């Protein structure tokens, strides 16, 4: 991390007392630090102490006339390689999620064009409050990365989630954000999770996809430096941090989100998208009648997202990868799917109930491309994702060299 610069925003929480240690660790690795304290943050650690540790003046006021004559807040927000907010209080998270800019810290966060990493810290009840969780969801959708919070005893005497991550943990997260990987500068679109196709306002048709493989893949691609747009159905696993998250429910919504996310250097379609939707979905909950006759459902085909992107011609991603979830004749069905859809690769796996793949932690995949089929041994989904991400990076690097 030599010669990297971090804009460190220190919020107003007791966890601010951990920031001197974080600054020490960063400077030991050759990182330059521009510190900014909120008014409340300066109540826990003084600007004088932070300036001395960082080796640079600590900024606190938006209306510093000398600096603002040069549009100082814009310069500060763009000069760093990464913006780190520690502690990220409930108040700061709310300002970020809602685009408020009433002080120097929030103005910098709104004006920056750099990656942002936050280390939340607050009372356990504040962390679990619906407003905070809504703000957290919005920040993740905006591509803000998070580290923590951890569970433990708090200064207020309560116990639970809300402790800011330790300085060493924040340092590791900063390393990951600043890493220059083979996919740096590449935009990769990843879809994940199931889709829910409504029958009525209460019921829907879905599948057992947890979204674990797609999430792990998006995380692995992010760690190789890619800028990720993550379009996800209602998965049971949380989305990865530090990517742009686009939540959807239905196949039609996923189709539209994918179109809006293009252009991309690569598109990875790991979502388990429903092939059909209910054409005669009811606007009201369906009721039983006295005859006990089940309602007749009429189906219509959903948009074929993989085929549409694979065959789009101008603007097509350089690499399009589909997934094939099969229960029999896995390789044969997946090979036929690749030819039918027109994608570059198919990642095929056996999702029959006895395999335990859907909702499980392990996967066995076969990669099918123009050269043939390559079957990998069973391994955790995280390892599958890492190996596949490296293969994607190698392909994109070869195509641009």
Q: Are residues 171 and 222 in the same domain?
A: no
201/206 Cα distance (integer angstroms):
14
CATH number at residue 229: 3.40.50.10300
Q: What is the pLDDT confidence band of residue 225, given thresholds at 50, 70 and 90?
A: confident
Q: Hey, is 52 helix, strand or coil?
A: helix
34/59 Cα distance (integer angstroms):
8
Q: Are residues 172 and 193 in the same domain?
A: no
Annotated binding site: 275, 285, 303-306, 323, 337, 341
**Residue where a domain terminates, one of 121, 154, 178:** 178
| Per-residue pLDDT at 218 | 94
Least confident window among 7-11, 247-251, 355-359: 355-359
Neighbours of 328 (CB within 10 A): 8
pLDDT for 112 beyond 50: yes
108/77 Cα distance (integer angstroms):
5
73 in Cβ contact with 83 (< 8 Å) = no
| Per-residue pLDDT at 135 | 94
Q: Are residues 270 and 384 in the same domain?
A: yes
Q: Are residues 262 and 125 in the same domain?
A: no
β-bridge pairing 197-198 and 204-205: antiparallel
Neighbours of 184 (CB within 10 A): 11
**Residue burial 355-373, b: 16+ Cβ < 10 Å; e: rest:** bebbeeeebbbbbbeeeee
pLDDT for 69 beyond 60: no
156 in Cβ contact with 235 (< 8 Å) = no
Q: Are residues 196 and 84 in the same domain?
A: no
Q: Are residues 229 and 167 in the same domain?
A: no
Q: What does the pLDDT average to over 110-119?
A: 90
Q: Establish how many alpha carbons lie within 13 A of residue 244's alpha carbon, considering only the half-sphere containing its beta carbon.
A: 13
Active site residues: 156
Domains held by the chain: number: 2
Which CA distances in Å does 375 have to 29, 330, 356, 366, 370? 41, 11, 18, 4, 14
Q: Are residues 314 and 358 in the same domain?
A: yes
252/27 Cα distance (integer angstroms):
49
Q: What does the pLDDT look like over 298-325, one tens digit per residue?
A: 999 999 999 999 999 899 999 999 999 8
Return mean pLDDT, the chain: 90
Q: Are residues 275 and 395 in the same domain?
A: yes
Q: Are residues 147 and 192 in the same domain?
A: no
**Residue where a domain terminates, one of 178, 208, 241:** 178
Q: What does the pLDDT look like over 229-247, one tens digit per residue?
A: 999 999 999 888 778 899 9
pLDDT for 280 beyond 70: yes
β-bridge pairing 145-146 and 362-363: unpaired
Least confident window among 23-32, 69-78, 127-136: 69-78
Q: What is the pLDDT confidence band of residue 275, given thresholds at 50, 70 and 90?
A: very high
CATH number at residue 41: 3.40.50.1950
341/275 Cα distance (integer angstroms):
14
Domain that holds residue 76: 5-178
54/238 Cα distance (integer angstroms):
35
| Per-residue pLDDT at 65 | 43
Q: Are residues 206 and 112 in the same domain?
A: no
Q: What does the pLDDT look like over 333-375, one tens digit per residue?
A: 999 999 999 999 999 988 877 777 766 778 889 999 999 999 9
Q: What does the pLDDT average to over 239-265?
A: 93
Q: Are residues 151 and 246 in the same domain?
A: no
Q: What is the largest CA-CA distance in the chain?
A: 81
């Amino acid at each position: 991390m030599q010669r990297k610069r971090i804009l460190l925003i220190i919020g107003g929480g007791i966890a601010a007392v951990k920031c001197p240690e974080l600054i020490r660790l960063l400077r030991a690795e050759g990182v330059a630090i521009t510190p900014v304290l909120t008014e409340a943050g300066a109540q826990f650690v003084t600007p004088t102490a932070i300036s001395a540790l960082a080796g640079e003046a600590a900024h606190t006021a938006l209306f510093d006339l000398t600096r603002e004559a040069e549009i100082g807040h814009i310069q500060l927000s763009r000069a760093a390689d990464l913006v780190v907010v520690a502690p990220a209080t409930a108040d700061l998270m709310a300002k970020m999620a809602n685009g408020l800019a009433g002080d120097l810290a929030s103005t910098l966060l709104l004006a920056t064009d750099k990656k942002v990493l936050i280390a939340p810290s607050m009372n356990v009840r504040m962390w679990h409050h619906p407003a905070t969780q809504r703000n957290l969801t919005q920040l993740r959708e905006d591509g803000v990365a998070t580290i923590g919070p951890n569970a433990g005893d708090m200064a207020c005497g309560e116990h639970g989630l809300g402790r800011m991550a330790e300085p060493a943990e924040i340092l590791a997260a900063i390393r990951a954000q600043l890493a220059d990987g083979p996919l740096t500068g590449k935009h990769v679109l990843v879809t994940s999770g199931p889709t829910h196709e409504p029958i009525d306002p209460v019921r829907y048709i879905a599948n057992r996809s947890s979204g674990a493989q797609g999430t792990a893949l998006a995380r692995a691609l992010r760690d190789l430096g890619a800028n990720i747009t993550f379009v996800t159905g209602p998965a049971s696993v949380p989305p990865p941090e530090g990517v742009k998250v686009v939540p959807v429910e239905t196949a039609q919504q996923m189709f539209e989100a994918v179109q809006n996310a293009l252009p991309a250097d690569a598109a990875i379609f790991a979502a388990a998208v429903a092939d059909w939707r209910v054409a005669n979905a009811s606007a009201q909950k369906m009721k039983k009648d006295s005859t006990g006759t089940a309602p007749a459902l009429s189906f219509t085909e959903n948009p074929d997202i993989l085929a549409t992107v694979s065959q789009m011609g101008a603007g097509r991603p350089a690499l399009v990868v589909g997934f094939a979830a099969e229960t029999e004749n896995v390789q044969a069905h997946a090979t036929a799917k690749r030819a039918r859809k027109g994608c570059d690769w198919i990642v095929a796996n056996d999702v029959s109930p006895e395999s335990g793949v859907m909702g499980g932690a392990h996967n066995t995949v076969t990669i099918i491309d123009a050269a043939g089929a390559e079957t990998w041994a069973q391994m955790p989904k995280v390892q599958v994702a890492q190996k596949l991400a490296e293969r994607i990076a190698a392909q994109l690097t070869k195509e641009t060299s």
